[in-house]
Chains A and B, each alone.
Chain A
Amino acid sequence: MLALIWKDIVLEARTRETLPTLLVLGVLVLVVFYFSLALRPQDIDRTAAGILWIGIVFASVLALGRSFVIERDNGCIEGLLISPIDRGSIFLGKLAVNVILLLAFETLLVPMFALLFGVDLMANLPGLVLVLVAGTVGLAAAGTLFALAALGTRAREMVLPLLVLPLQVPLLIAAVQATEMVLGGASVTSLGARGTLLAAFDVLFVTSGWLLFEFVLVD
């Protein structure tokens, strides 16, 4: 499984394809939303967390759609399937790579976000990191599970957002509210139901992906 993670990271490090694309998209989302909502300075506190998450969700759909295209185009999937690893581990490996990639993207995007929207990241930095990680794991788990299914359809990558966005809404609600709170300096323990929901979503999608992934792979 570690080898699986390593090969994807090396691939990304050598080609430098995905990360810059995601970053540009993320910043574009921030800018486009800033103008389309015609934000006034006093609105920013209420909307900033939501806009950040829209950027993350869009980028995650794009990144996850890509993650199996490379495997398929070069016939690597067959190689993975005949290798002596459990199908669930393939899922966990792919998930880990996607999470690492998205977190790398977020470490670049969040400072830009703070700069553009004048948000104070230091209010509760550990809390913010925790919320971002929890949200990213959930988004990536749902996306990794359905990326192959979307590729199997005639419309290809276009279908992935349609499959995962409705499933991700509860995560998004909790993540946006939690981010808004930690940006305002609230502690992680005061998140209440939002924290529970983030954790529950992560557990549900990681386990169901781990258990169900073998069914979306060809025998």
Chain B
Amino acid sequence: MVDFLQGWLLRLAPYPVLVLVLTSLLAIFFWVPTDAGLGLSQRIFYYHVPAATSCFIAFAGGGIGSAMYLYTRKPLWDHAAHAFVSVGMLFATIVLVTGSIWARTAWGTWWTWDSRLTTFLLLWLVYASYLLLRTLSRDNEMGPRYAAVLCIVGALNVPLVMLATRLFRTIHPQVINNPQGGISDPRMVTTLMLSMGAEILLMLWLWALCVSTLRLGERVELLSEESYRRSVPS
């Protein structure tokens, strides 16, 4: 299944990704009307929210890949999970940076210990420790399994983190499904959908590329081991 998905993504995704990313950027900068209350700074929202969605999809994929790896013990699932966490981290970093920039203009501060922000930061830290664990246990054949366990437990922990951080107050805007305020102009909705599609597809394409890199890396390692074995007379 990973093979199938990855193969088709590599073949088909690049063109729609290019078109969607460009049109969504054009829409964000030139077409969508400026928000009445927040002004220009609100435009970063079309980049921030899809990045968050993409990163959640990627982390969910990482959890599924890890569970499948422990179940089947096939390295391909491990590569899938590893690649998902890597691209998820990229998008999570984008979310934190764009959110921070927006918060500076809207709230007057780069960071605040709000429930959603804290949840996100902790999520980022858990997956950072996942990548760290992968790097540090590269020469241990148990490494992928440790990482898979961390990825599953980390994903199961998310609801608790949300519950815990809510013990503090929250000021993060609730935009989608909010009866008062929120986005209402159809052009805003279209732009959001457009950049949502662009970023999710971009994330999947990057994932497919990342999986091929990991597979290549594994082959290189196997080949170099073999050449080493041949060069040393036993």
Contacts and interface: CB of A to CB of B under 8 A. Distances in A.
Interface of A: 142, 145-146, 148-149, 152-155, 159, 162-163, 166-167, 169-171, 173-174, 177, 193-194, 196-197, 200-201, 204-205, 208, 212, 215-216, 218
B152 A212 contact: yes
18 contacts: A146-B150, A152-B142, A152-B146, A153-B136, A154-B139, A155-B136, A159-B132, A159-B133, A170-B161, A173-B164, A173-B167, A174-B164, A193-B166, A194-B167, A197-B167, A204-B157, A205-B153, A215-B145
A152 B153 contact: no
Interface in B7-58: none
A152 B140 contact: yes
A34 B219 CA distance: 55
Contact of A218 (B133, B142, B154, B160): B142
Chief secondary structure at chain B's binding surface: helix
Nearest to A168: B157
A208 B137 contact: no
Contacts of A142: 153
Contacts of A152: 137, 140, 142-143, 146
Which of B122, B150, B166 has the most A CB atoms < 10 Å from its CB? Answer: B150
A166 B160 contact: no
A60 to B, nearest CB: 17
B225 to A, nearest CB: 19
A145 B154 CA distance: 12
B129 interface: yes
B146 A201 contact: no
B226 to A, nearest CB: 24
Interface-central residue, A170, A171, A204, A205, by most chain B CB under 10 Å:
A170
A208 B145 CA distance: 14
Contacts of A194: 167
Contacts of B223: none
A152 B126 CA distance: 18
A167 B133 contact: no
Interface string B144-160: 01101110111011001
Nearest to B150: A163
Contacts of A149: 133, 137, 142, 146, 149-150
